Amino acid sequence: MQHISLVTPEYAARRATRANSDCPALWSILDSVFDPELPYVTIWDLGILVDVEQTTQHSCKVTVSPTYSGCPAVDVISDDIKAALMKEGMQSVTVEVSLSPAWHTDLMSPDAKHALHNQGIAPPAQVVHCPQCDSGDVDVISQFGSTACKALYRCNSCLEPFDYFKDF
């Protein structure tokens, strides 16, 4: 897995935004919210959790940027964010969906890329490697995988098919 990049400048900037936030407890609560299509990756690690602002003692605004503009999981993610924060005492939670700047894979954490790999999905990379045997000898079967943000590949070494999380 040496080909998985560690920390991108974009992820480092996100980490700095979070570290300088006035409401670290709210960010921590949202660490329990997972992407419904990738239930082993948090919305933070996926890079779609953009910002959290506490507007009053019992209300906050959360900004998310979906992986693509037509992402069908946005409503579920918004509901999960509201449920997690309200369970911890927030009385009003606004979730804003922002399409600009657009989400891209450089916003993902190293943990997200490792989690994808561990689930048999090749993480975004300049060169696609098989998540089973780590071979770079792979072919695209279809640009459309199990979700719109994945493509279907096949490894020519171990012959296993696998999803590749597209590098946008």
Q: How far does Cα 76 stand from its chain's mean position? A: 14
- The pLDDT value recorded for residue 145 is 86
Domain parsing of the chain, residue ranges? 9-106, 120-165
**Is the Cβ–Cβ distance between 114 and 45 less than 8 Å?**
no
3-state secondary structure of 119: coil
Determine the residue type at 87: K
Instruction: Supply 38's token pair.
Output: 């990738």
Q: Is the pLDDT of residue 3 over 80?
A: no
CATH number of 9-106: 3.30.300.130
Q: Is the pLDDT of residue 1 over 70?
A: no
Determine the residue type at 140: V
Determine the residue type at 166: K
3-state secondary structure of 131: coil
Q: What is the pLDDT of residues 43-97, one digit of tens each?
A: 999 999 999 999 999 999 999 999 888 888 999 999 999 999 999 999 999 999 9
**Is the Cβ–Cβ distance between 27 and 52 less than 8 Å?**
yes
Mean pLDDT of the chain: 94
